[in-house]
Amino acid sequence: MSHLQAVSTSLQPQSHSYTQLTTYFDPHSQVAWGYMHAEPRPCFTPTVLRELLAWGDSMVGMIDDPNQPDVKYFVLASNVPDTFSLGGDLSLFMQHIVARDRDALYRYALSCIDCSYAVHSHLNRPGVTSIALVQGQALGGGFESALAANVLIAERGAKMGLPEILFNLFPGMGAMTFLGRRIGHQKAEKLILSGKLYLAEELYEMGVVDVLAEPGAGEATVSDYVRREEKSRNGILALRSAREISQPVSYDELVRITEIWVDAALRLEARDLRMMERLVSRQTGKAGVAAAAVPSVAFSA
């Protein structure tokens, strides 16, 4: 059964001409679903970033319009088999790095930050909860985007990690901010520097993943979570508001870290770019995605 087939038949397609994002809205449970399917690789292409931001704007429009059904939850997911997201558009990174085009690289990075901040801040609407549903691999920026969500749900067997250190970089679009607030900054740095992939089960034990789902039951688990939250919604949202006061995440923090990332990316040497290029080639096609799942293989000489 595909991801989309697993979703309730009550979902209504949202009327937007997206090309790399499929959106649905369930008026009964007031849940909006967004399924990424970027091309040519399931990563954060400029197109999917624009469409995610447009989707966020459309949900804000629904929330603020008293004549529209309200959105109480939105779910970031993927309908690419075995892949949530492979992260940043490494091919685009290399183009900008080789061209020494700092402005273009910075603009792309800001687009990623804009998406992550919208997810983490639940569209700046206190009554909305953002959920990331990870089915399959979430690498680099894909993992960062999942970490940005208020609730991270992952199927058992899903693999997540931050391999950037393996090509002499670091994940600069929210990993330190979001991971550090989940498990502490010392543990976050250790995880980042490992360059390893972790099973959802391991990350659940660390406190990174909030809810584990059985394989193939991700959407059903999201629905179960929504039903549970509804029973204690007032208390849960109040607690989240208190956490956001005691552990605030500012847009400025994300931007300043991203500026460090951009400058570090421009210092990469030819050998680092060759390693990045090999990962891009392995991300292209089903066989490549499978190879990229094991960093020790994907980055071998």
Q: How many CB atoms lie within 10 A of CB 194?
A: 15
Residue 298 to residue 301: CA distance in whole angstroms: 9
- 51, 155, 164, 219: the catalytic one is 164
Residue 144 annotated in active site: yes
- 51, 144, 155, 219: the catalytic one is 144
The backbone torsions φ and ψ at residue 211, rounded to the nearest 5 degrees and listed phi first, read: -140, 130
Which token pair is 19?
Answer: 């090309």
Q: What is the DSSP string of 72-102?
A: -EEEEEE-BTTEEE--B-HHHHHHHHHTT-H
The backbone torsions φ and ψ at residue 295, rounded to the nearest 5 degrees and listed phi first, read: -55, -40
Amino acid type, 16: H
* Helices (H), ranges, the chain: 3-6, 46-64, 90-98, 102-120, 141-148, 180-183, 185-194, 200-206, 218-231, 233-246, 251-266, 270-283, 286-292, 295-298
Orientation of helix 102-120 relative to helix 90-98, angle to 10°:
150
Torsion angle defined by CA atoms of residues 64, 115, 179 and 31, in that order, rounded to the nearest 10 degrees:
40
Residue 164 annotated in active site: yes
Mind telling me the catalytic residues?
A: 144, 164
